[in-house]
Structure 1
Amino acid sequence: MSNSIPCIIMRGGTSRGPFLRMRDLPDSEAARADLLLGLMGSGHLLQIDGIGGGNPLTSKVAIVERSTHPDADVDYLFAQVDVLRRHVDFNPNCGNMLSAVGPYAIETGLVEADEGITSVRVRNLNTQRFIECQVSTPNKQVCYEGDVSISGVPGSAAGIRLSFLDVVGAKTGHLLPTGNTVDVIDGVEVSCIDAATPVVLVEASALGVQGSETAEQLDTKRDMLDRLEEIRRKAGRLMGMGDVTQSVLPKPIIVSCSDTPACTLRARYFVPHSCHKSIAVTGAIALASAISVEGTLANRMAVKAGHLESGDLLQSVTIEHPLGVMELDVSHGSGGSGDVSRVSMIRTARKIMSGDIFYPALSA
């Protein structure tokens, strides 16, 4: 049967989806998107005719290939496949799916394993940024078993260290795309940040919520969601991204002070029209970066919570999200600059199946 390609389904962080080789997909982006829509079963609430899980976190695709760039081993293109609409967004990056790119590259022979730990250098084609992945490879084999637990995933697994390099301006070229630490949209203060991914930060109280609600509770607040979407669209224009109605970027994040002293801030991250059950890696990086910029909403709230003095820089950030916490190590530029040069965190991944995946015949 011609309409099948090799596939490994993997969990990466708190996301899951098929991992494919670029060489097995059509050259045309339109034909590639058509294939992915059929493969995932989009256009149906349950994605019943494909392998999507009826949720944005399980309707993701990682496309990987050997890189021609001298600073990378593999290239990684992320695709967010809409559940209900026939739409694929190749603009954002997904740091959770990225957690499994290193293991996948080793499993498929794109990178030769070293004894003990294998470093995989990844170029993300969505943002043209580079990430270092440290994968456990005892006996030169990927090891998925371990004692590392991450919020939002049951059990434990082997830790994978991700280090995001040169995160500033992933899409717009600027850490502060509007040139301001705070803008006002429809009477609401926001901070527009582009680090690993573009986001718009809004304080919970400005939207009439506590910020401690569950994802399910926030998803029922239709008026709040409509207001947040209007702010997101206007922020997109202010950030120089044009009409973002059909794009998942920028992502909105509702921020508040955590009730847990060990947590720097509390976040509710949207994808963008429903609340993420935890938080995206790239969204966490953007929020951690915002904390380092004096005057942003995130920085002001971290100062208010007593986690840093005005003008200080945090080397470690802990973000509370609906299912737990995410811890990040933050490195800054030299000379006291607030610019973030590297952000690292530990994630996990698991190989779920390997074989051929079938998709409906492509339209002519």
Structure 2
Amino acid sequence: MLIPIPCVVMRGGTSKGPFFLQSDLPQDEARRNQVLLAVMGSPDRRQIDGLGGGDSLSSKVVMVSASSRPGIDVEYLFAQVSVDSATVDTSPNCGNMLAGVAPFALEHGLVAIDKPQTSVRIYNQNTGKVVEAVVQTPGGKVNYEGEAHIDGVPGSGAPILLNFMDAAGAKTGKLMPTGQAIDLIDGVEVSCVDFSSPIVFIAASALGKTGYESKAELDADKALIARIEDLRRQAALRMGLGDVAGKVLPKVVLLAPPVQGGQISSRYFVPWNCHAAHAVTGALCVAAACHIPGTLAQRLVQLDAAAPQHVTIEHPSGQLHTQITQEGMDAEGWPQITKAGVIRTARPLVAGVTYIQSSAWD
């Protein structure tokens, strides 16, 4: 027998995948992960027997539920499902898929709709952080059509504003988990920052790159990928994340000065290949790092003196615009970044049920 599970496949930002109500999935973590692997068709390079697209950007799952937390509307859990191994990782967040959470919640009646826009406060179970999503809802219905364009996605859509609240120390509990703006690992300077997501920043020039290479060029350099992975694992130990072999956090970003009219150039790794565009959570961490004295990002960024809170990040598919709100310093003397915002778009692609074999559920 086949087991039907209600779901909506949505594009969120530059990623896509199935969205579920948490109540429609097993509550036991091991069983749930087994079900998600079956849903996506993993492990299989093509994911031919599931909904996965054979790529890390299209092998993602979002689970949503109503929340009983004070001041919170809904909760969501993100899962990165490995394409070619039987692994489900719920340690990271995904800011792109997050763009679909509020529309999904509104369409399923988890949150009352306002006019002409609805603000949804979302608790991220992966990081324990809160995100405010502002969705266009004229006439009391979710609007997906509009003029907002994000590089890496064809066409345009209605803007969804994502404000990440108090996102410092998302996984490590500290904005600067090593306590230093610069760490030296095997002769390479790195900056370890944890804002919305923990990231190891490296100047592209330190690894013999310009920082303007395409995804294909970077992915083809196997020696570079191996070097990045070695630095990532060593940095993770210093960040208090332990042995991260086989885990997707922390991520790595290669930085360079801007060349396309933005403030900084970034190549974001996911982590074993380069992102085709840029992760939202990674972009927010880049923007935050640009405002932290002494970091590699702060060295390379070219902020606009008239609007230093705006950081436009150049990536392989174009640009991503962010905005930082800073209020003084934290207890350890680092900038206190209280809010970081970004515009995304999202839309449902198909709704119905996905079928898995009963053995996966059992």
Fold match by TM threshold 0.5: yes
Tell me, in whole angstroms, the C-alpha distance in 1 between the residues paired with 2:38 and 2:357: 6
Pair 1:145–1:308, CA change in 2 (3 A): closer
Shift of 1:362: 3.5
- Counterpart residue type for residue 356 of structure 1: V
SS at match of 1:294: coil
User: Does structure 1 conserve the Cα–Cα contact (< 8 Å) formed by 2:62 and 2:97?
Assistant: yes
**Normalization by structure 1: what TM-score?**
0.96
Corresponding residue for residue 316 of structure 2: 322
Deviation at 1:314?
2.7
CA positional deviation for 1:195:
0.2
Q: For 1:1-364, list aligned pairs within 5 A.
A: 3-260=3-260, 262-302=261-301, 305=302, 307=303, 314-334=308-328, 338-363=335-360, 364=362
Instruction: Find the aligned partners of 1:298 and 1:346 in 2 and give their Cα distance.
Output: 22
Structure 1 residue 313: Cα displacement: 9.2
Identity level (%)? 47
Structure 1: how far apart are the matches of 2:263 and 2:290? 9
Task: Provide the C-alpha distance between the structure 2 equivalents of 1:257 and 1:301, rounded to a whole number of angstroms.
Answer: 5
User: Following TM superposition, by how much is the alpha carbon of 1:276 offset from its aligned partner in structure 2, in angstroms?
Assistant: 0.2
The answer as to whether partners of 1:127 and 1:171 remain within 8 angstroms in 2 is: yes
Distance in 2 separating the partners of 1:104 and 1:313: 34
How many residue pairs match? The answer is 358
1:99-146 per-residue CA deviation (whole Å, 9 max, x = no partner) reads 010100001111111121011110000001000111011111111111
Structure 2 Cα separation of the partners of residues 113 and 170 of structure 1: 29
Unaligned segments of structure 1, at least 5 residues: none
Per the TM alignment, residue 162 of structure 1 is displaced from its structure 2 partner at its CA by 0.6
RMSD: 1.5
Deviation string 1:10-56 (CA, Å, 9 cap, x unpaired) is 00000000000111111111111000000000111110000100000
> Retained in 2: the 8 A contact 1:289–1:339?
no
Residue 334 of structure 1 and its aligned partner are, at CA, apart by 3.6
Structure 2 unmatched runs, 5+ = none
The whole-number CA distance in structure 2 between the counterparts of 1:168 and 1:62 is 23
Aligned to 2:247, what secondary structure does the other structure show? coil
Q: Cα deviations across residues 185-236 of structure 1 (Å, max 9, x unaligned)?
A: 1110000000000000000011111110001110000001000000000011
CA distance in 2, matches of 1:360, 1:269: 36
Q: Which amino acid aligns with 1:145?
A: E
- CA distance in 2: counterparts of 1:179 and 1:86, whole angstroms: 35
Contact 2:329 2:335 in 1 (8 A): no
| Preserved CA contact (<8 Å) 1:31 1:362 | no
Shift in alpha-carbon separation, 1:299–1:287, aligned structure 2, 3 A: same
- Distance in 2 (alpha carbons) for counterparts of 1:102 and 1:335: 32
Normalising by structure 2, we get a TM-score of: 0.96
